[in-house]
Structure 1
Amino acid sequence: MTHMKAAVLHARNVIRVEDVAVPSLQPHEILVKVKATGICGSDLPRVLGNAAHHYPIVLGHEFSGVVERIGAGVSRVKVGDRVAGVPLMPCFRCHDCQAGNYAQCKSYSFIGSRVNGSWAEYVVLPEMNAIPLDDAVSFEEAAFVEPSSVALHALQHIRFEGGGQVAILGGGNIGLLALQWVKLMGAREVTVFDIDDDRLALARKLGADYVLNNLRAATEESWRQITGGRGYEVVLETAGSDATIKQSFELAANKAKVCFIGTPVRDLTFSPKRFELMNRKEFTLTGSWMSYSAPFPGKEWETTLHFLKQGKLNFKDLIDRTFPLDEINAAFDLYRTPGGVKGKMMLLPG
């Protein structure tokens, strides 16, 4: 086995499935045969826009598969192990890494954006970036461990304690994963906001107490009635849109916790009156970045796999469609179609 298929991004909107060389292994690296890999929202500006770090590049950082080969000195996994992949490769030497803040490493690399990723039949990764899977966990479910850990990391970052009313802005994959986590962690009531009724219906199925469509005129009246006019004690912004980022300031209760998980792609401008809400309400505003803690890769990953094995997390209903690797451009045609994608698009290379 010297060659493999890979979906190679050559330029904006130019993905070609090609035969490329199977990468060689360095010490403490492993070769994983990819069984399932997701298309992340962060991949969209790399393919549809100009956000790729370089060309050519094989994207893909949400993945699972089977260990095919191991390099010299590998001891954590063996050939044939089923694993989920961890994409971040921190330096482990800088001040932030030494403090366990791996996502803040300034010298990191990242599988699927800085180096070739999992939109291929095989992917190389350090042995410590492979997490063994229980046989009860499917490869498709295991490809959700990375985005699930992103949602959980945000809650751990804000020290979420449950018991209150939570607003989740955005009913995409991260929003619906955050919904499942806050319910598991004891939220009293959860309201999911989106502009797509299909997403809101899925949010209801996954446990949302209320769902509100932001395109409807009565939305503000509804959330004020739900919260008794007080607003929400926790607001999780997962869409990264200017509208929902600004809305989070309105939804926050006095002394609330507001967390930005979504990544904006445009400049934002706040009116003085809206920005003043943070001062008046004295809410705590923070961001959340990636999904890591000490010991690497972190309790976010371990906790996700534990509850997934217990059947407490529903990833299967988040999958919109699956495609063989050869049909990756058909998947992206759907992203170019308004309303064409309702959930996770997943590639099945193996």
Structure 2
Amino acid sequence: MHSAQRLMFVSSPAAPRVELESFPIPDPQAGQVLVRNTHTQVSAGSESNFLRCGPQSYGLPDGQLRANIGYMTAGRIAAVGPGVTGFAVGDRVVTSAAHASHSLVDLTPTAAIDPVPDGASDEAAGFAALGDVALHGVRRAQLQIDQSVAIFGMGIVGQLVLQLARCSGAHPLIAIDLVDERLELARRSGATHVINPSRENVVQRVQEITQGAGAEVVFHCAQAAGILQSAMECAADRGTVVLTSSPPGTATIRLKEELLRKELKLTGTYESGLTQSHVYWRWTRQRNRRAYLRLLASGQLQLGHLLTHVVPAGDAPAIYEMVLRGSTGWLGIAFKWD
């Protein structure tokens, strides 16, 4: 048995918290690999939803108020079970697993485990799951060269959507956020224009930037459900609004003025059932993750300027206290499990 550590998340409206605990992990059995994680990456929106809003907001059964969650890790294979092919001890990989020093991965046909190419650091490669989310949203938008794009929310997903939209040839690229430091990072990610709605009328500014047309594609990458109405107001006639975040709660929208008269298309992105390629949709989650890793290794995607905190896992309780206080002072977060 291996000695390991993991983070336990405790959901509570009054006192949400994160604790570090030890746990035993068995040797891998047939068809399994054991990964010794160097880093686990924070999905701030999803994990904050669990802490503040309860397990159902994270997709867990109601009542499961204490859980080991997370879904992005990077490390090296420490051991392989009998019959394993395609992976060997020492291979660098990213996996879909919770925050822990070790992850046991079942190598099923749909297992989320991918090799890390040379040129991609562990702390950046581990964000492949969010790279998959962002790339799926861009694919669903069917972006065209010189198509105007506005993005609400400059967290990691919003920043990756911005960079992928730039790779797709979209222009102009309008970044929208309430936090100035995130807007400055968005400029480094390729934004041609930035808007802080606390100081400017966001709909009016988008109209000015697009010569009165509105943005042809608007991405909702924020944690505030109510932004949907503003996103629709910013959209051009027959434009598309793509929901790439997972905001809890409900949104109120005007049906006639925007959805009906502007003939908008609202697109959700959740990737249900996309573990296998299909003739009408070839972009599986694995293919998206590996595309993210390739673009990262080649330098076409840049994550270094977005990583504000790469800290020991023991600092996790203080990190989540910071995240729950608000959006200032942090962006990309990864825990080290040395």
Cα gap change, 1:202 to 1:247, in 2 (>3 Å): same
Q: For residue 79 of structure 1, what is the aligned residue in structure 2?
A: 89
Structure 2 distance, partners of 1:344, 1:176, is 10
Contact kept in structure 1, 2:34 and 2:105, CA below 8 Å: yes
Q: Report Cα offsets for 1:184-229 as digits up to 9, x if no partner.
A: 1101210011111111111011110000011124433322111111
Q: For residue 335 of structure 1, what is the aligned residue in structure 2?
A: 323
Q: After TM superposition, what 4+ stretches of structure 1 lie above 4 angstroms from structure 2?
A: 290-293
Q: Aligned runs of 1:133-172 on 2, under 5 Å?
A: 133-172=116-155
Contact kept in structure 2, 1:144 and 1:315, CA below 8 Å: no
Structure 1 distance, partners of 2:148, 2:172, is 5
Q: For residue 264 of structure 1, what is the aligned residue in structure 2?
A: 247
CA positional deviation for 1:339 = 4.2
Match of 1:43 among 47, 66, 81: 47
Q: For residue 100 of structure 2, what is the aligned residue in structure 1?
A: 120
Q: For residue 288 of structure 1, what is the aligned residue in structure 2?
A: 269
Contact kept in structure 2, 1:26 and 1:72, CA below 8 Å: yes
CA positional deviation for 1:247 = 0.8
Structure 1 distance, partners of 2:275, 2:231, is 27
**TM norm structure 2:** 0.88
Structure 2 distance, partners of 1:251, 1:183, is 19
Contact kept in structure 2, 1:27 and 1:71, CA below 8 Å: yes
Paired AA for residue 37 in structure 2: V
Q: For residue 19 of structure 2, what is the aligned residue in structure 1?
A: 16
Q: For residue 101 of structure 1, what is the aligned residue in structure 2?
A: none
Contact kept in structure 2, 1:198 and 1:342, CA below 8 Å: no
Contact kept in structure 1, 2:8 and 2:19, CA below 8 Å: yes
Q: CA RMSD in A?
A: 1.9
Cα gap change, 1:169 to 1:347, in 2 (>3 Å): same
Match of 1:323, SS state, is strand
Match of 2:325, SS state, is coil
Paired AA for residue 304 in structure 2: K
CA positional deviation for 1:337 = 2.6
Contact kept in structure 2, 1:34 and 1:122, CA below 8 Å: yes
**TM norm structure 1:** 0.85
Structure 2 distance, partners of 1:332, 1:153, is 27
**Structure 1: runs of 5 or more not aligned:** 88-110, 112-116
CA positional deviation for 1:269 = 2.2
Residue range with higher mean Cα deviation, 128-137 or 336-345: 336-345
Match of 1:209 among 177, 181, 192: 192
CA positional deviation for 1:39 = 1.3
1:30 aligns with 2:33: yes
The percent of aligned pairs where both chains have the same amino acid is 26
Match of 2:195, SS state, is strand
CA positional deviation for 1:153 = 0.7
Match of 1:281, SS state, is coil
Structure 1 distance, partners of 2:264, 2:328, is 36
Cα gap change, 1:245 to 1:59, in 2 (>3 Å): same
Cα gap change, 1:57 to 1:164, in 2 (>3 Å): same
CA positional deviation for 1:24 = 4.4
**Structure 2: runs of 5 or more not aligned:** 278-283
Structure 1 distance, partners of 2:328, 2:311, is 15
Match of 2:182 among 199, 218, 229: 199
Structure 2 distance, partners of 1:265, 1:216, is 26
